Amino acid sequence: MARSRFVRHYLLDPRFQVKWTSYLVVVVLIVMMTLGMLIARLAGRTSHTARIAVTQAEKAFHESKTNNILARSAVEMAQPDNAGLAAAMDEQFKEVDAQQEKNLADVRRLQEDIARDGQNLQRLIIGAGVALLLLLTGMGIVITHRIVGPVHKLKRLLRRVSTGRLVVDERLRRGDELEDLFETFLQMTHSLRAMQNARVATLDATLRHAEETGASDEIVDGLRALRAQMMLGLEKRHAPRDASERTA
């Protein structure tokens, strides 16, 4: 029920409205996909750089460990009885190893942060894209409705004028487009009513002249019937409208 009411109210011309709304959505989608690809490429390069940094940090850590072992072995071979020197070197090597481990942990944590930020960015782009597409779809329907509504009303009023009813007391809704076109249509109906009133005045004079000169009843009745028909177009008539007309 709610969907059918929405369709009747906003989709007065589904083919036109859906077509132009689709054009808008497709253009924005192409722009979003292009930006998404650029952002994804930039994120990929950042992640690749982080992986290289981790690899270099691991390589430096292993090289430092190897160098420490070789240096200690060299000291032991040169001075096997110097326990104090060996202990001092062990303490220094531990500090170097601890610093290298800290650097490696920092680089790995940075890589994890970059990877997590990249995933969050992807989710954000997808979520924002879906929300933007829904928003643009709704805006497209509403905006085109502001154009289709006046056109729909003009078509209905033109059909009414084509039957001889020249009194138009309707106006566009606030915010509708095509106001200039509708004002031109109203000016046309004013001109037609003025012409019709002039014809009625001429007919009234002819009818009075016919009555004064003793014209036949057939002629007088014909003139009166013609006048009644002409007056129908100058009277306000509130004919029932269907659901589509009420929404325009």
Q: Residues 60-102: pLDDT tens digits?
A: 777 777 877 777 677 667 666 666 766 776 777 777 778 878 8
- In this predicted model, what pLDDT tens digit does every residue of 148-197 receive, in sequence order? 888 888 888 999 888 888 888 888 877 778 888 888 999 999 999 899 89
CB-based contact 89:72 (threshold 8 Å) = yes
Q: What is the pTM of this model?
A: 0.55
Q: Which residues contact 171 (CB under 8 A, 6 or more apart)?
A: 182
Q: Which amino acid belongs to residue 30?
A: I
Measure the CA angle with vertex 57, ends 51 and 60; round to 5°. 145
Other Cβ atoms less than 10 A from the Cβ of 153: the count is 22
Q: Which amino acid belongs to residue 60?
A: A
Q: How far apart are CA 91 and CA 97, in angstroms?
A: 10
Q: How many residues does the chain have?
A: 248
Strands (E), the chain: none
